[in-house]
Amino acid sequence: MGMWIGDLRRRGECQDWQKQKLEGQCLANRMTMAICIKCGEEKWGGFAPCRACGHRPVEVDELAHSLYLTTHHQRRDELLKAGRRIKEGTFTVDANIIAPFIAEIERDPAWLEKIRHPERFRPGVVWRVLPWLLGVGLVALAVSGIWRLIRDW
């Protein structure tokens, strides 16, 4: 597994099963379709919260299964079958298949912490307000300059 899909995107590569055409594009260049590991419903993004049940994977094992159940690693028809099996309670994955995903996720503890606690890594109020303040200041400066030009004319 050694490479994330973002690396494939940057290099312009797709695996064979990803060469399925979807509106003329490789699946690696489109938003990731995934299956919720708790309820089996479709969702967009393996690590995103499920809109149906609200589950958001945070543990390493959950993240590995969620990553495995994406269009980056499975065909869409296989994902839909997995979703049906999750709903029926019969879905299982061989531990040898999930092991590389777990190893990749555990490789970067800082990234794992960001996935587990995204609220800790959001910009503070100052960094969210600062661009707006700068924008307002630039508009005020422009209006002031235009006003001087008109007044002196």
At 96-116, the pLDDT tens digits run 999 999 999 999 898 888 888
Vertex 118 angle, CA 113 and 123, to 5°: 115
If you ran DSSP here, which 8-state letter would residue 39 be given?
T
* Same domain membership, residue 72 and residue 140: no
* Same domain membership, residue 139 and residue 78: no
Long-range CB contacts (within 8 A, 24+) of 108-112 = 112/60, 112/63
* Mean pLDDT for the chain overall: 81
* Same domain membership, residue 141 and residue 115: no
pLDDT for 115: 85
Q: Is the pLDDT of residue 153 over 90?
A: no
* Same domain membership, residue 42 and residue 30: yes
* Same domain membership, residue 63 and residue 52: yes
* Same domain membership, residue 86 and residue 25: yes
Rounded to whole angstroms, the Cα distance separating 63 from 81 reads 20
Q: State both tokens at 59.
A: 């543990």
pLDDT for 10: 41
Coil vs helix vs strand at 46: coil
The one-letter amino acid at 84: R
Q: Residue 71 is part of which domain span?
A: 5-122
- Please give the backbone phi and psi of residue 25, each rounded to the nearest 5 degrees, phi first: -125, 155
* Same domain membership, residue 17 and residue 83: yes
Which pLDDT band holds residue 123 (cuts at 50, 70, 90)?
Answer: confident
Q: Is the pLDDT of residue 26 over 70?
A: no
Q: Is the pLDDT of residue 85 over 60?
A: yes
E-assigned strand segments in the chain:
33-35, 42-44
Cross-strand partners of 33: 44
Q: Are 134 and 141 in contact (CB under 8 A)?
A: no
Out of 55-64, 76-85, 108-117, 133-142, least confident range: 108-117
